[in-house]
Amino acid sequence: MGVGFVLVVLSLATFSNLSPVHPRFIVPNPDRNLVTSFSGQLLRAAQSSPRTKLRLRGGNADSQQSRSDTSNHTNDICIRKPDIDKRSYRFLKLDNELEAVIISDNETHSGAAALCVGVGQLDDPPEVQGLAHFCEHMVFLGTERFPEESNFDQFCASCAGYSNAWTSMDHTLFHFIVAHDKLFETLDRFSAFFSCPLFSESGTDREMHAVDSENNKNLQDDDRREHQLMRSMCSPGHAMSRFGAGSYKTLHDLPAAAGVDVRAALLAFHGRFYSARAMRLSVIGRA
């Protein structure tokens, strides 16, 4: 493993305190942030023998044969690549079961990452439609470790990069790109989205208006009109019939009329669905 791989593996330590609980089969876990971090172990192991001491499950793209070891439920995954591709690839599985692909490229001028969470609009509770999309917005408004609102966007911009996210039917994807020498620090900030977002009361109503503005902007989009028409034809009791984009009406007015605390629903939603086992991470950096 080269220096680039070691640095990226060290960066993954910031994701080690995410709950491994699988969201679709376990009730909300109030202790999700109490998972023991093994950042120190990761640092020591990466300095010596990352593959054997980290208890990371993975493989690389050095051979064309995939191997498996069913005795300890550990898989070595071979990532096939074209002969002209000079990048190095490696699959890792952290102790909390977050799966990651790290890519080392000694010619890139940028560092980037994308994290996909297996939760989307179909997981919205019927009483707060658009909650998955709203949650995607809210994680950007500060974390316990970096409490300033919009801190992450500003940091990425200061590092010659940017960040964005979107919510689909069954997954939510977050991504960023920055100067290659800022990857480690950006990953540290990025990981806080998923382990310790603030979801401040002051930001909740303002971000509801932001979601509503986004919806109003898209009202004339024919693709979205077609999609919503399809939803309207679904059975009223099916999750597909819900308004996944969200609006101020679905996020504020209707829940308020029904006596629903949207911030409490948001905290429960993030606590239940944003778990390591439901996440897939891809990172690229310089070797």
Catalytic residues, which ones? 136
Q: What angle do CA 143, 147, 148 make, to 5 degrees?
A: 125
Longest CA span, the chain: 61
Nearest to 168, CA basis, from 204, 104, 117: 117
CA distance 65 to 225: 47
Asked if 183 contacts 11 with a C-beta cutoff of 8 angstroms, the reply is yes
Instruction: For helices 131-138 and 262-273, give the axis angle rounded to 10 degrees.
Output: 80
Return the structure tokens found at 190.
């990025």
Residue entry with tokens 């009202």: 219
Instruction: For helices 3-11 and 39-48, give the axis angle rounded to 10 degrees.
Output: 170
Return the structure tokens found at 232.
């309207």
CA distance 110 to 237: 46
